[in-house]
Structure formats: C-alpha cells, structure tokens
Amino acid sequence: MSWKDHLPAVRGKLLRDEPLGPFTWFRVGGPAEVIFLPEDEDDLAAFLKALPADTPLTVLGVGSNTLVRDGGVEGVVIRLGKAFARVEPRGDNRIFAGAAVLDATLAREAGKAGIAGLEFYRGVPGSVGGALVMNAGCYGSETKDVLVEAYALTRTGERLTLSNADLGYSYRKSARAAAEPLIFVGALFEGRPDEPAAIQQRMDEITERREKTQPIREKTGGSTFKNPPGHSSWKLVDEAGWRGKPFSVSGQGGGAMFSPLHSNFLINTGEATAADLEGLGEAVRADVKARFGVDLEWEIKRIGKPG
C-alpha cells in the first residue's frame, strides 16, 4: 500500500501522476506524484494538519520562475487556485491580495484604487505568493518596500501573520521563508495616494520597456541568475559569449538558449528538455566562473529529480 492511498480527505482536487510542464512557463518537466488543488484556506489547513510529516511537500505558484526536472517531483505538490486570487482595497492606501493573484493584476487593481507605489509589480512575471517568498522586484523597487504583513500556513497547518520585519528580507530572499517551510496564502500591501491615470501611465511605460528589452512571449523563467555584488548577470553571460547560442545536453538539437534579446533570460525555443535548460545554466555558470572569477547564483527555482 502506497502513501498515496492514505492521503487526507479534501474538498478540493487530488490529481495523481499529473504532468507539471503545463503548470510552468518553461513548459517542461516530469509529473508530480500528487497535486493538491485546495478548495480554500480551511481545506488547505486541514490537509496540512493531517498530512504525515515525512511526506515530501512542494508549493508551486504560477510557475514563472520554476524549472521542473524531467524526473518529476516526489510527494505532494500544492497549487493554489481561484480561492486564493482575491484582490481587495482596504482603505488608507492599503490593498489585500491572495497568494495566487498575478503580480501584474495586483499592480493594476492598486492603480484603479488610486494606490501608487506598486507599479513595479507590472514588470514582475509571477504571483504574490512567489513575490513573498523571494522579495520579488524590478526597476528599483522590491516587495519589502510595500509589504505590511503576510499570511501563511506552516507545514502543520498553523496560521501565521508575519510582519515585514518578521520575513527578514534581503536581495531576492526571505530569511524566514528559507528557514521554515511556509505556504503563503495572501498579504496586505501599502502604497501612497495618486491619480489612477498617472499610475496607469507609469505602468504602461513599464510594459513598453519590458516588451522592448525582455522575451516576454517566449517559454522562459524570467531572470535566470541573481546579480552578483558589483556585477550584472546579463553582462557576464553576454561577455562569455552565450547570448543566443543554442545548447542541448545531448549535443543535438539545441532547444535551450539564453535570449538574444536579454542574455539573462533562459528560454525554451520549443524542443528543450529540463535537462537541456539546467545544463545550459550550469555550463554558463562554470564558464563565467572560469573567465571572470564570479559565481552566478540561480534565481530560477529548480525542483524535482533528473530524468
């Protein structure tokens, strides 16, 4: 008898041996042993309380900066749906957003409510849950600049309210989230008052800038590497000669590539495997280290087993 035959009863959906590629922006990767799509927060909390502590657990957001390896993911993968996609202005230039809300949607709804300061989320390719985990940001602003508090569940289903300070934010990292498995379910943000039209104009400028400089219509995971202190990752990748250079682990085909438009964006041109994409990233890391003595750290989260 498998552990999969003894999962807690739920009101949401439990899917077995479900391919994860369609859940990610790279569109590659093997299956999850089990995916849990909770009906609501109570359903999720009850499931976590009843789930044996030794069952592997992974949270998958919108899949924008996640690479699922070809062998798939052991245990249970949790994916939050529409019950966690509510956006609600709360007055005093504050706005609540569920963890499944797209960052761009949060920016748009804040703008409509006359709340400025969240425009940068228009340029972040992900969801609120992921932004909370990694202090997502762009164009000079980060999650820590606008977050009031976040709401999460622990691995055992305990509900937590965490202040900005509790999360211990630094560049693309939360010390609290790194130290303890947390499943974010929502957050409260605060901006400043401004006219919706002025906010929309700034978001339009961000959109235009992204379309000109980033391969946003490709199968990509956003920024591949964090910027090392004193360096820009895209410049290091470019100067090492990897911009637009096809690559595959087998040496045939070449479906993985660093974008000709932005050399810190790893893309699947159509035929890449997860092994091709990760292999290219590791080849670039080794080359940059050898040439320039700089360590590139993955910003994309890589999960699962090799194929």
pLDDT digits (tens, 9 = 90+) for 9-40: 999 999 999 999 999 999 999 999 999 999 99
Q: Please identify, among 79, 101, 124, the residue that sits at the C-terminal boundary of a domain.
A: 79
Q: Are residues 187 and 276 in the same domain?
A: no
pLDDT of amino acid 178: 94
Total of domains in the chain: 3
Domain range for 7: 3-79
Q: Are residues 227 and 203 in the same domain?
A: no
pLDDT digits (tens, 9 = 90+) for 149-169: 999 999 999 999 999 999 999
Q: Please identify, among 162, 184, 212, the residue that sits at the C-terminal boundary of a domain.
A: 212
Q: Are residues 226 and 280 in the same domain?
A: yes
Across the beta sheet with 265-268, what order do the strands follow?
A: 219-223, 265-268, 256-258
**Distances in whole angstroms, Cα of residue 104 to Cα of each of 96, 119, 120:** 14, 8, 9
pLDDT of amino acid 248: 83
303 lies in some domain: no
Q: Are residues 223 and 261 in the same domain?
A: yes
Q: Is the dihedral of CA 141, 281, 269, 272 positive or negative?
A: negative
Q: Are residues 236 and 199 in the same domain?
A: no
The span from the CA of 264 to the CA of 267, in Å, is: 10
CA-closest candidate to residue 183, choices 234, 132, 224: 132
Q: Please identify, among 161, 196, 212, the residue that sits at the C-terminal boundary of a domain.
A: 212
Q: Are residues 73 and 161 in the same domain?
A: no
Q: Are residues 30 and 114 in the same domain?
A: no
Residues with a catalytic annotation lie at 172, 223, 299
302 lies in some domain: no
Beta strands in 38-125 (DSSP E): 57-59, 66-68, 73-78, 87-91, 94-98, 115-116
305 lies in some domain: no
Q: Are 279 and 70 contacting, i.e. CB atoms less than 8 angstroms apart?
A: no
pLDDT of amino acid 271: 86
234 lies in some domain: yes
* pTM summary value: 0.92
171 lies in some domain: yes
User: Which residue ranges of the chain lie beneath pLDDT 50?
Assistant: none
pLDDT of amino acid 1: 59
Residue 17: which CATH number? 3.30.43.10
Q: Are residues 74 and 177 in the same domain?
A: no
304 lies in some domain: no
Q: Are residues 174 and 226 in the same domain?
A: no
Q: Are residues 155 and 208 in the same domain?
A: yes
pLDDT digits (tens, 9 = 90+) for 179-195: 999 999 999 999 999 99
306 lies in some domain: no
For the chain, give the number of residues: 307
pLDDT of amino acid 207: 95
Residue 134: which CATH number? 3.30.465.10
Q: Can you tell me which residue has the tokens 């919706």?
A: 196
Q: Are residues 44 and 97 in the same domain?
A: no
Q: Are residues 154 and 190 in the same domain?
A: yes
